Amino acid sequence: MMLPSVLGHHGEPADPTLLEWIGDRLRDLISFGPVTVALALGIVILAIPAALLAWYFLQRRRV
């Protein structure tokens, strides 16, 4: 029973046509350049640990 289900899949982790379509829709919705997107993601990546550290120190100060 497992063999027919395996044959229906392809080697890529996702359907390339679907990923291209999703990428096109995202580019239509968010018309920022790649540098702006990378900068925004970098800020988010740095802000999460900074917020966690600030929360930790505020909680530590209360105890």
Q: How many domains, in total, are found in the chain?
A: 1
Structural domain contains residue 5: no
* Cα–Cα distance for residue pair 1/46, rounded to 1 Å: 48
* Residue 53 belongs to domain spanning: 33-63
What does the block give as tokens for 59?
A: 């909680």
Q: What's the pLDDT tens digit per position in 19-56?
A: 899 888 988 887 888 888 899 999 999 999 999 999 99
3-state secondary structure string across 23-40: HHHHHHHCCCCHHHHHHH
Specify the amino acid at residue 5. S
59 falls within a domain = yes
**What residue type is 47 in one-letter code?**
A
In a domain, 48, yes or no: yes
Rounded to two decimals, the pTM is 0.49
**What is the dihedral sign for C-alpha 31, 32, 37, 40?**
negative
DSSP state of 59: H
Asked whether residue 22 is assigned to any structural domain, the reply reads no
